[in-house]
Copies of this chain bind each other. A is one copy, B any other.
Amino acid sequence: MSIFFGVDYYPEHWPRERWETDASMMREMGLQVARLGEFSWARFEPRMGEFHFEWLDEAIEILGKNGISTVLGTPTAAPPAWIIEQNPEILPVDSDGLVKSFGGRHHDCQSNPAYREHVGRLVTAMAGHYRDNPDVIGWQIDNELGNSHENLCMCDSCKAHFQQWLKKKYKNVETLNREWGTCFWSQDYDKFEQVPVPRKTPTAHNPSLLLDWKRFCSDLIVDFQDFQVDIIREICPHHFITHNMMGLYDKTNYFDLGRNLDFASNDQYPTGYYFESGEGQPDFEISACLDFIRGVKKKNFWMMELEAGPTGGAIIGRTPRPGQLRLWTMHCVAHGADTIVYFRWRTCTVGTEQYWHGILPHSGIPGRRYEELKKTIAEMVPVMEDIHGVVTKAQVAVLFSYDQDWAFQIQPHHPELSYVDQIKKYYDGFYKRNVLMDFISEKDDFSAYRLVIAPLQILMTPELEEKFENYVSNGGNLVLTMRTGVKNINSVCELDRELPGNLGRLSGLVIRDYDCLLDMEVEVEWKNGRERGKARKWCDIVTLKGAEVLAEYKEEFYKDTPAITVNGFGKGKAFYIATEPDGPLMDRLADYLISELSLPNWGASPDGVELTVRNGRKNDYMFAINHTNKAQSLKIDQTWRPVSPGCQGMVREYGVEIFARAAREDKNGQ
Q: Is the beta-carbon distance between A196 and B362 smaller than 8 angstroms? A: no
Q: Is the beta-carbon distance between A518 and B317 smaller than 8 angstroms? A: yes
Q: Is the beta-carbon distance between B352 and A203 smaller than 8 angstroms? A: yes
Residues of chain A at interface, number, CB under 8 A: 119
**360-419 of chain A: CB within 8 A of chain B:** 361-365, 367-368, 410-415
Give the docked Cα–Cα distance between A396 and B78 (Å).
49
Copies of the polypeptide in the assembly: 3
Q: Is A577 an interface residue (CB 8 A)?
A: no
**202-219 of chain A: CB within 8 A of chain B:** 202-209
Q: Is the beta-carbon distance between B200 and A100 smaller than 8 angstroms? A: yes
The distance from the CB of A388 to the nearest CB of chain B, in whole angstroms, is 33
Which of A37-45, A448-456, A564-572 is found at the contact surface with chain B?
A37-45
Determine the chain B residues whose CB is within 8 A of the CB of A498 once the complex forms. 361, 363, 365
Given A81-B189, A81-B190, A319-B516, CB of A107 within 8 Å of CB of B352: no
Given A187-B81, A363-B498, A493-B362, CB of A516 within 8 Å of CB of B203: no
Q: Is the beta-carbon distance between A314 and B101 smaller than 8 angstroms? A: no
Contact of A494 among B187, B349, B412 (CB under 8 A): B349
Secondary structure of the A contact surface, majority rule:
loop
Q: Give per-residue flags for A169-204: 1 if the beta carbon is below 8 A from chain B beta carbons, else 0.
A: 000000000001111111111100111111111111
Output the nearest chain B residue to A354 by Cβ-Cβ distance: B493
Q: Is A318 an interface residue (CB 8 A)?
A: yes
Q: Is the beta-carbon distance between A203 and B275 smaller than 8 angstroms? A: no
Output the nearest chain B residue to A80 by Cβ-Cβ distance: B186
Determine the chain B residues whose CB is within 8 A of the CB of A492 once the complex forms. 349-350, 354
Determine the chain B residues whose CB is within 8 A of the CB of A414 once the complex forms. 315-316
Q: Is the beta-carbon distance between A200 and B278 smaller than 8 angstroms? A: no
The distance from the CB of A111 to the nearest CB of chain B, in whole angstroms, is 15
Q: Is A604 an interface residue (CB 8 A)?
A: no
Q: Is the beta-carbon distance between A40 and B186 smaller than 8 angstroms? A: yes
Q: Is the beta-carbon distance between B277 and A519 smaller than 8 angstroms? A: yes
Determine the chain B residues whose CB is within 8 A of the CB of A78 once the complex forms. 185-187
**8-30 of chain A: CB within 8 A of chain B:** 10, 12-13
Q: Is the beta-carbon distance between B194 and A106 smaller than 8 angstroms? A: no
Output the nearest chain B residue to A352 by Cβ-Cβ distance: B204
Q: Is A321 an interface residue (CB 8 A)?
A: yes
Q: Is A92 an interface residue (CB 8 A)?
A: yes
Which of A255-263, A298-306, A507-515 is found at the contact surface with chain B?
A507-515
Determine the chain B residues whose CB is within 8 A of the CB of A310 once the complex forms. 515-516
Q: Is the beta-carbon distance between B202 and A350 smaller than 8 angstroms? A: no
Output the nearest chain B residue to A350 by Cβ-Cβ distance: B181
Q: Is A116 an interface residue (CB 8 A)?
A: no
Q: Is the beta-carbon distance between A47 and B186 smaller than 8 angstroms? A: no
Given A102-B201, A190-B82, A321-B557, CB of A351 within 8 Å of CB of B43: no
Q: Is the beta-carbon distance between A493 and B204 smaller than 8 angstroms? A: no
Q: Is A148 an interface residue (CB 8 A)?
A: yes
Q: Is the beta-carbon distance between A148 and B203 smaller than 8 angstroms? A: yes
Contact of A203 among B105, B187, B361, B556 (CB under 8 A): B105
Q: Is the beta-carbon distance between B318 and A516 smaller than 8 angstroms? A: yes
Q: Is A646 an interface residue (CB 8 A)?
A: no
Q: Is A517 an interface residue (CB 8 A)?
A: yes
Q: Is A54 an interface residue (CB 8 A)?
A: no
The distance from the CB of A371 to the nearest CB of chain B, in whole angstroms, is 12
Output the nearest chain B residue to A47 by Cβ-Cβ distance: B190
Q: Is A497 an interface residue (CB 8 A)?
A: yes
Output the nearest chain B residue to A193 by Cβ-Cβ distance: B85
The distance from the CB of A383 to the nearest CB of chain B, in whole angstroms, is 26
Give the docked Cα–Cα distance between A39 and B187 (Å).
9
Excluding A184-B348, A204-B313, A318-B516, 16 further A-B contacts by CB distance (< 8 Å) are A10-B183, A79-B186, A80-B186, A81-B188, A81-B194, A100-B199, A103-B196, A103-B205, A149-B202, A181-B350, A184-B352, A318-B517, A319-B513, A355-B413, A361-B513, A368-B512
In the A-B complex, list the 6 residue pairs whose CB atoms are closest, starting with the nearest.
Answer: A181-B350, A184-B351, A278-B518, A104-B203, A278-B519, A101-B199
**Complex A-B: 7 CB contacts under 8 Å:** A39-B186, A100-B201, A103-B196, A103-B198, A104-B185, A104-B201, A365-B498
